Chains A and B, each alone.
Chain A
């Protein structure tokens, strides 16, 4: 046993916290694994999804009334931009194949001959 008295003000809290953490993790996960917990969690998340759906619909109507693009319009625009990006990527890839030196940054070439240490 150490003859050094423990004057660290966090000492007691540390011990208490360790025990609390163990207890909460053990019992918490035990409870969370129960079907009732899953049911309660899903009821909450289902309500949140429902609220989100209602809010999406309402904001869609508001935007339409204000003659502003809806989420669907912006998504459609996004898809068209993605199409343009994909075309650009294909063009870039073709250019890299045809002009590898122009596309690659100037770095010394490495030799692929390394062997593992004995």
Chain B
């Protein structure tokens, strides 16, 4: 008993010392460099950025992969640091990887609408990937709202279609996103006034809304950091994810207005009444192999909001997988390395020759 007491006391003292030392180190050290895989920026236009990552193998799959990032956040979530980068993982597995990423829209971009994001940005990214690789076939892989944009493009262009379509945590039934639905209730939320006055949906407003989905989340994360200051891996992970989650982008006003009205208020994607530029989005006519990966503990895009997607897609070869994790840990971090990345590779490899 005496030995156990001494061991326990020793361990507690060691951790306390480590907490203090590493705490000082944390405050003094620079932020980690994220998104550092070698790449070329092949399109830089308005809020659109198209990257082509340098292949890491001499032989790649014939079909290139285009990752489509959510419009509210930065794409470096796909490329955190070596060993925790989906981009690096795919490159090492022999894929030719491109990413459609976003910058903050400028004042003159306030008029960009859903049509611009889908037909112009996603559409021209695909054309550019085709031109750059000489391949007509492209696999489209979207995350969250990037998944919605990918679905909209595929639903408009089902004849040309992507070769393969994979989306992660992609909402389709916006009526099931209960908090967002309640906060954007048209009786109280005047989206026109917001957009007409500010021109944009400000990033801090969006960040507050995401934070309020888990009101205690931020305080709890800060406590966990303090508690784990002795643990280098934990601190490193916390810094990366904290930086990313706070690095939100404003949304172009018209795009935000249309998203609110058509997707949230009218639930058009789920109802099958969505139109872009006057053309119907026909998810039931998509025939490309389709994979939807959702997260068991996703508090942003709940299972109820994402699950109906599989039924709406017309593909014969389609699969929906629920993996352990949350909205972000599904795609990045140690959980993703073990679960989602190998799943994506297994599904996509055979379809990329």
Contacts and interface: CB of A to CB of B under 8 A. Distances in A.
B61 A105 contact: no
B197 A52 contact: yes
Interface in B44-80: 44-46, 54-55, 57-62
Contacts of A14: 227
Contacts of B223: 13, 17
Interface string B133-162: 101000000000000000000000000000
Interface in A76-91: 78-79, 82, 85-86, 89
B178 A33 contact: yes
Interface in A94-118: 97, 105, 107-108, 110-117
B198 A49 contact: yes
A112 B205 contact: no
- Residues of A in contact with B, size category: 35 or more
Interface string A41-85: 111011001101100100000000000000100110011001001
Nearest to B56: A110
Interface string B106-124: 1111000000000000000
Contacts of B197: 49-50, 52-53, 56
Interface string B95-114: 01000000000111100000
Contacts of B9: 7
A79 B108 contact: yes
Contacts of B353: 114-116
A17 B198 CA distance: 38
Contacts, number: 140
B188 A42 contact: yes
Contacts of B59: 110-114
A24 B216 contact: yes
Interface residues of B, number: 61
Contacts of A33: 178-179, 182
Nearest to B184: A38
B214 interface: yes
Contacts of B108: 75, 78-79, 82
Given A85-B45, A112-B62, A29 B179 contact: yes
B57 A35 contact: no
A7 B8 contact: yes
Given A21-B220, A39-B187, A111-B60, 6 more contacts: A9-B12, A29-B179, A32-B183, A43-B188, A113-B59, A116-B350
26 contacts: A4-B7, A6-B8, A7-B5, A8-B11, A8-B12, A9-B16, A21-B217, A25-B216, A28-B216, A32-B183, A38-B182, A39-B187, A45-B194, A49-B194, A78-B106, A82-B108, A82-B109, A89-B43, A89-B45, A110-B96, A112-B61, A112-B62, A112-B135, A113-B62, A115-B353, A116-B353
The 4 closest A-B pairs by CB, nearest first: A28-B215, A116-B349, A24-B216, A42-B188
